[in-house]
Amino acid sequence: MKNKTNVLLELWLEARTRFTNQLQNITSEDLTKKLGDSPNSVGFLIRHIGDVELLFAKNVFGDATVKVSAKTVIDKRDTGEWTDLETLTEYVRYSFEKLKTIVENQTDEDWESSVTTQEFGTKTKAQAFGRIVSHTTYHAGQLAIIKKYGK
């Protein structure tokens, strides 16, 4: 029987393919695309996913080795600077590895412990993890629409 960590990790890895499968087909030209008057570009959303994954590794799961300047969260808007595909791709690889590593180290008891953040209050780690799963897939959907219909 799998433990909670293995089950939750499998769930996240599968859900995250909604994002990673798209990364393989994004070009440098796609990074500046926006949908109508939407405030966020493809590049911004990629960076934002990485920023939030790193914030989760650090603030929810307590990885003190994570150093993050979550500019997309701080600025709360697209500043137009997310235009380097290689840098963005490497950033989300890094954010994935940091979050995956700390998640792999959770015990069944850890998932039931509570964590409090300014963004979503007090939740168990399992509930908080649900937020990162849905966050990434939510923005993956936005990416797909912007890539297809954006200019």
Looking up residue 75, the CATH number of its domain turns out to be 1.20.120.450
Model confidence pLDDT, tens digit, residues 29-81: 999 999 998 889 999 999 999 999 999 999 999 999 998 989 899 888 899 99
Q: Output the pLDDT for position 12.
A: 97
Q: Output the pLDDT for position 75.
A: 87
Model confidence pLDDT, tens digit, residues 80-135: 999 999 999 999 999 999 999 999 999 999 999 999 988 889 999 999 999 999 99
Asked if residues 77 and 65 have their Cβ atoms less than 8 Å apart, the reply is: no
CA distance 126 to 136: 16
> pTM, whole model, 2 decimals?
0.94
For residue 122, give its domain range. 4-149
Q: Output the pLDDT for position 128.
A: 96
Could you count the other beta carbons within 10 Å of the beta carbon of residue 95?
A: 22
Q: How many structural domains is the chain composed of?
A: 1
Q: At 7, list the tokens.
A: 């089950």
DSSP letter (8 states) at residue 77 = S
Q: Output the pLDDT for position 101.
A: 97
